Amino acid sequence: MTPPLYIALRFLTHRKRALLLSLSGVVFGVAIFICTQAQTQGFARYFIDSTIGSNGALVIRSRFRPRYEPLMVSAKGSKATMGRRLYFEGITNPNEIMRVSRQFSNIVSCSPVLRGTVSARAGFENATVDLYGIDPALHAQTTDILHQLINGNFDDFRNNTSSIIIGSRLAELLQAGVGDTVQLLAPNGEFWRFTVAGIARAGIGSIDATRIYAHARVAQALLQQPSGATMIIYKLRDPNRAPALASRFETLFQHNASSWQEREESTLQLFLTLRMSVAITVSLIILLAGFGIFNVLTMSVLAKIKEIAILRSMGYRRIDISLIFLWQGAVIAVAGSLLGCSLGALMTWGVSHIPIRLRGLLYTNYFLVTWDWRHYAFATLLALIAVFIASYVPARRAAQLPPVVTIRGSR
Amino acid sequence: MNSQICLSCKGIERYLGEEEERVHALRGVSLEVEAGSVHAVVGPSGCGKSTLLYILGLLDPPDTGQVAIESKSVSHLSDDELARTRNKFIGFIFQFHFLMEDFTAQENVMIPMRKLGQLSDVQMRERANDLLEAVGLGDKLRRASRHLSGGEQQRVAIARALANDPRVILADEPTGNLDTANSDRAFELLQNIVK
């Protein structure tokens, strides 16, 4: 143990109240940072997993071709590309697009979907629903529908073309359970009868309240759609690379392609804003803790002026004196971060057990948290920086104190 | 003869204070101190005794003049090198013992040794015990320095000044804060050390 560390530890342990004050600031700052980040990211992560699990990481929709208007010149820097396209509903030759897109290494699987809006009736209840005509096998590979089933059996759906899977909130609205009959209104005014084979909960209110899955061919007949698919959804190995792949697919297939980031941009921005807002607030707490440490160490320097002079007279260098106070800060930062991380984990665990009944944007019965080592690393880094800055000034001041002035003053 | 000179200074000038309060404290002080000798600087209060001591102890730089330890000038040394020289060659005893309050008597004596870094922890402890034994505090090794009497604290300060076996011991009115009995004991100790 170096002499400055030895002396720093002794100084620290002999001022227990000051040590406790400094330490508690760092501990609570780090813990609250971790806990709040775990919560805000928990909700965001749940939303992202749910939306990717239900709607895929990438979706190809309408075919387009450039609008040939050579006399029209757009303004410089204008992003009016969309305006210069003509869109045609539906996917042209979905099987060929899927065959080619499967060649891409990032593609895990893909599923064609025929989508339309219809009215649903069960008993005396009516609702406007989002009908998804799917290939059960491909859809099960591409989405989390198997895990989302909270009632019923996917095999029953797969083996019965006149069966459907309905969203959990829609099931509540229609008061329909597994085995019940739900009627869907075709555009020609004819009601088609379906048996509910399963109830799915994606966890996102807008999906659970409107979605019905039916077999693709049945949906095609019901919706009287000429094309076999209105969109293709993709499961990716790395969903974070979806925007780049979407851009590539647009060029390659001349179909509109959108990543989950683009699709959910507004909600993701909301989560990001919330997370940043909380992070700023909690960072201020850590900075406040740093300010507390600055005060404690400055007071310590003032209280130890005599000791500093003695040490200098015994041959301790200015850097040794600085190190004594920097070590005190370092010990507080390291111990505070370790304790803060432990407390943060405990608080996160505790928060994840707090009951909360959310049935809006998301479906959950408990607070959602995420366990991410980066929260702990970032909180620790923030604490170390704050404490270092807080210790540096008093340490520097202590080193600059001329010993003779103190010794003379003590006479 | 020159090889026995352990401390010397030549033409030391020192001004204290600023502007109207500026005082010419030391005027061309020169001296040579031989190893194994005891010297006393005497004079009225404010004549610059302590100022000279701090300059000789490398705590305060002179305005002009040179200080040499074992015939080697230290005027050109950096602050770090001066600190190292102080640690190795000089032991200070102040009027007020200036012990580290958070440390025991033994730990106080070990502080200069820790900085020098030539002894192991066990060796430092043994040397501190021997020195404290020599100043009559063998039974109070682990007592916190603030719980010692004034005389005992000054004796710990003397032991601490001897910790690194320095070539020069500079004592600034070491008995100025002690009663007669403790003063006599401290003087006796210092003279025994020189012998």
pLDDT tens-digit readout, A24-46: 888 988 898 899 889 888 888 88
DSSP string, A183-249: EEE-TTS-EEEEEEEEEE--SBHHHHTTEEEEEHHHHHHHHT-SSS-SEEEEEES-GGGHHHHHHHH
Residue of A nearest to B162 (CA): A314
Which positions in chain B touch A314 (Cβ < 8 Å)? 86-87, 92, 111-112, 115, 160
Nearest chain B Cα distance for residue A397, angstroms: 16
A403 touches B: beta carbon within 8 Å? yes
Q: What percent of chain A has pLDDT over 70?
A: 95
Smallest CA–CA separation between A8 and chain B, in Å?
Answer: 11
Dig out the tokens for A158 from the structure.
């797969």
**Which of A83-87, A242-246, A332-336 comes out lowest in average pLDDT?**
A83-87
More confident residue, B106 or A68: B106
Model pLDDT, residue A236 = 93
| φ, ψ (nearest 5 deg) of residue A336 | -65, -40
Domain ranges of chain B: 2-76, 93-194
Residue ranges of the alpha helices (H) in B100-163?
A: 105-116, 121-134, 150-161
Indicate yes or no: CB of A316 within 8 angstroms of CB of B92.
Answer: no
Banded model confidence at residue A78, pLDDT cuts 50, 70, 90: low
Name the residue with higher pLDDT: B72 or A350: A350
Cβ within 8 Å, pair B79-A403:
no
Distance from CA of B56 to the nearest CA of A (A): 12
pLDDT number for residue B1? 41
Q: Using pLDDT thresholds of 50, 70 and 90, give the confidence band for residue A79.
A: low
Interface contact A315, partner B, CB < 8 A: yes
Q: Which CATH number fits domain B2-76: 3.40.50.300, 3.10.270.10, 3.40.640.10, 3.40.50.2300?
A: 3.40.50.300
Confidence label for A72 from pLDDT (cuts 50, 70 and 90): low
pLDDT of the residue at B99: 87
The larger pLDDT score, comparing residue A302 to residue A258, is at A258
At residue A68, the pLDDT reads 64
Kindly determine whether residue A316 and residue B94, on different chains, have CB atoms separated by under 8 Å. no
Encode chain B (195 residues) as per-residue pLDDT tens digits.
445 888 888 888 888 887 777 888 888 889 988 888 888 888 888 888 888 888 998 888 888 998 888 888 888 888 889 899 989 899 888 877 688 888 999 999 999 999 998 889 999 999 999 888 888 888 888 888 888 888 888 889 888 998 888 888 888 887 776 677 777 777 777 777 776
Please state, in angstroms and as integers, the Cα–Cα distance from residue A31 to each residue in A273, A334, A382, following that order: 21, 13, 12
Q: So what CATH class is B93-194? A: alpha beta
Task: Kindly report the number of other CB atoms within 10 A of residue B76's CB atom.
Answer: 7
Distance CA A21, CA A336 (A): 11
- Amino acid B2: pLDDT: 46
CB distance B139 to B129 below 8 Å: no
B64-69 and A149-152: which strand pairing? Answer: unpaired
Q: With contact defined as beta carbons under 8 Å apart, do A208 and A169 qualify? A: yes
Contact partners, residue B65, CB within 8 Å, separation at least 6: B9, B10, B11, B12, B13, B28, B29, B30
Partners of A198 in beta bridges: A152, A165
Tell me the C-alpha distance between A164 and A179, whole Å.
10
Mean pLDDT calculated for residue range A209-232: 89
